[in-house]
């Protein structure tokens, strides 16, 4: 239960911070939904190289954890959700 609860907290904190990031500039990229520990975006191709590293960093650092606890975030892109996997 503590692991699942912490994971849920992490994704929610990351979502708030990513929303703040996307509102700072007039980005065309939109965060669409959360599926368990995954976030789905409508990523504008012109913003991919700028936003993906920022989003990954936000997700990896959402909660401060001891250095020996790795937080691994993977990304996938594609024309639809299936292609992104």
Closest residue by Cα to residue 32 from 5, 60, 55: 55
- Give all domains of the chain, ordered by start, each with its CATH number: 2-84 (3.30.70.370)
Q: List helix spans (H) across the chain.
A: 2-24, 48-60, 81-84
Taking the whole predicted model, whether its pTM rises above 0.85 is answered as: yes
Tell me: the pLDDT tens digits for 63-84?
988 878 888 999 999 999 899 9
Tell me: the pLDDT tens digits for 21-33?
999 999 999 999 9
């Amino acid at each position: 239960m503590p692991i699942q609860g912490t994971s849920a907290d992490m994704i929610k904190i990351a979502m708030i911070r990513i929303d703040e990031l996307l509102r700072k500039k007039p980005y065309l990229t939109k965060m669409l939904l959360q599926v368990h520990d995954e976030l789905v975006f409508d990523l504008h191709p012109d913003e991919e190289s700028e936003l993906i590293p920022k989003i990954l960093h936000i997700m990896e650092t959402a909660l401060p954890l001891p250095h020996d606890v790795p937080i691994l975030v993977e990304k996938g892109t594609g024309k639809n959700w299936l292609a992104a996997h």
